[in-house]
Structure 1
Amino acid sequence: MTSPNTTNNTPESSTTETTVKATSSQSRARRKLLAALIAIIIVAAGAIGYSVVKSRKAAGTRVITVGLVGDSDEQIWKTVQQVLDSRNAGITIETKSFQDGIYANRAQADGELDLTAFQHYAFLQQEIDDNGYDLTPIADTYICPLNLYSDKYTSVSDFKAGDKIAIPNNATNTGRALKVLDAAGLIKLNDNTKANPTVDDIASNPSGVEIVLNDAASIVNLLPDYAGGITNANFIVDAGKKVSDAVFAVNPDPSDASLKPYVNILVAQTSKKDDSAYQQVVDAYHTKEVADVISTNYDGTYVPAFSY
């Protein structure tokens, strides 16, 4: 006799068991279908990718890889690409971003990049002197202002003895920052025409400020703690500040011969500097379309250094 509490063979139990089995079977079927769909998508994507590469090669499209530092110049290069496309140049620009220009130059020297577009003449020359790179500038692009900023003061005359001013610690921008301090009257250099002056070239310090070398990208974050800091305009804008907030600014006139070392450039390996495709890229860069993007989209971060 079956116990009243035993339900193993009741209709309700049997129905539940059947339902569970059916649900499990349906779930397995759905998983198999999903796996099949994923496989189809992967194969299709691969086929499309292969087709694109194949058609690109068939069309004779030249891919030129450009090394950048950060991603702030992407809009410029999108515009360069648009100009190239409008001219049916058969050139595709691919940008590759680096955290530091030192790594970008090394990659180009090793043949991993066709062009670089992040540094000025002085920085490139220092890299060549230090590492023996066989690299050559092939075109000017823009100049990036380097000015004195402060969260504490609104005028150069406010600085007093003992105030700390942070400046970039790489050789070329250290020299450029010292020239800014010289122009502001806070220090006096032995020779303000020297390419890369160092702190040893300071002849006098009438203001009594203390100069502290720091990474250029970190200087904007030090402004709450320092009396002032000198850094590149792109770091200022990235931090949500304005280039016009500078308490002292040097007019970034690309035609000023004294600022020529600080004009940014396109750089190629010396053995490839006359590549006709590179010249097409230069011609596309040196256009009104690109100049307009630089002038209007970057809030004073860059000033075009080319004619068109």
Structure 2
Amino acid sequence: MKMSSLRSNSTTIIVLLSLVFATLSGQCQGGDVPLEVGFYKGKCWTADVEAIVGGVVRAQFMKNPSITAALLRMQFHDCFVNGCDASILLDGNNTEKTAGPNLSVRGYEIIDAAKAAVEAICPGVVSCADIIVMATRDAVALSGGGRYTVQTGRRDGTTSSAKNVDLPAPSISVSDSIKAFAKKGLDATDMIYLLGGHTVGIAHCSLFQDRLYNFQKTGKPDPTMDSSLLTALRARCPPNTTVDNTVNLDQNPLSSMIVDNSYYRQIILHRGILQIDQELALDPLSKPTVTAIANGFDFSTKFGQAMIKLGAVQVLTGEQGEIRGSCRATNKPSK
């Protein structure tokens, strides 16, 4: 073979290898792109990233359907503090996990399992922030809610601090709640639908015990609470007990594990558990919307739309953030 042909062939091989490495690098690092539906299509060869995550969630759901409430809470607690960057997943002293409101957050093992599954197929490509959003969507669908289409392309944050955790308290007023959500780019209607996640949630007695015995330091129960519910909750949550029991936020026993509009029907009947739940049905700022949702048939669609908006709060994309190898630890070298 002539030397000119060898040089030509060598040059061709080098160019091809360069293109391959450039493609792989692009898959791992991402570009300056916003969130989009189907972001991972083609980035893990023929693998369907969303299907992989969905398989993990389905397996976990079959064992414990309450993971839907856990994942909804996780996504909310993550996105409401510094945006949807998976900072709630980071282990360590004084991370978001250690803050009081997050001590009862659960479901981390589901995200770990989903991350391990996608890493086994295409390492360094799928963010933990995206996994939270995909997993939550899948759990909602498994619990009877509509299957909304998620956008992906988030990157993971590199810092997490307990002092940044400033989540709305269960006793917050409707007007203050609207203001808190507005700071995240979410309007009053978004807030009302997102609180509808309580349709599958639970609450510890300590979060509403004042409503049962000493509402606003009156020495009496909350007068807005249904009397039969008050009796039942007092039996479940006796005073001066060392056991912090839990109750369903949707007091319809036939619907407390289903993502639907039953929660709104219950709070209209004065059967709300948390103070903010009941106030939604009473405050003029939210009452008309609550009534419309309770009597409507499009909750799943509107709830999905609100979850999509929540998932877009202060996201990191492009060259911002990182793609963690482990959702519990940042790739950033320790000092």
What range describes the TM-score normalised by the shorter chain of this pair? Answer: under 0.3
Per the normalisation by structure 1, the TM-score is 0.25
Tell which structure's C-alpha radius of gyration is larger: 1
Richer in strand (by share): 1
Richer in helix (by share): 2
Per the normalisation by structure 2, the TM-score is 0.23
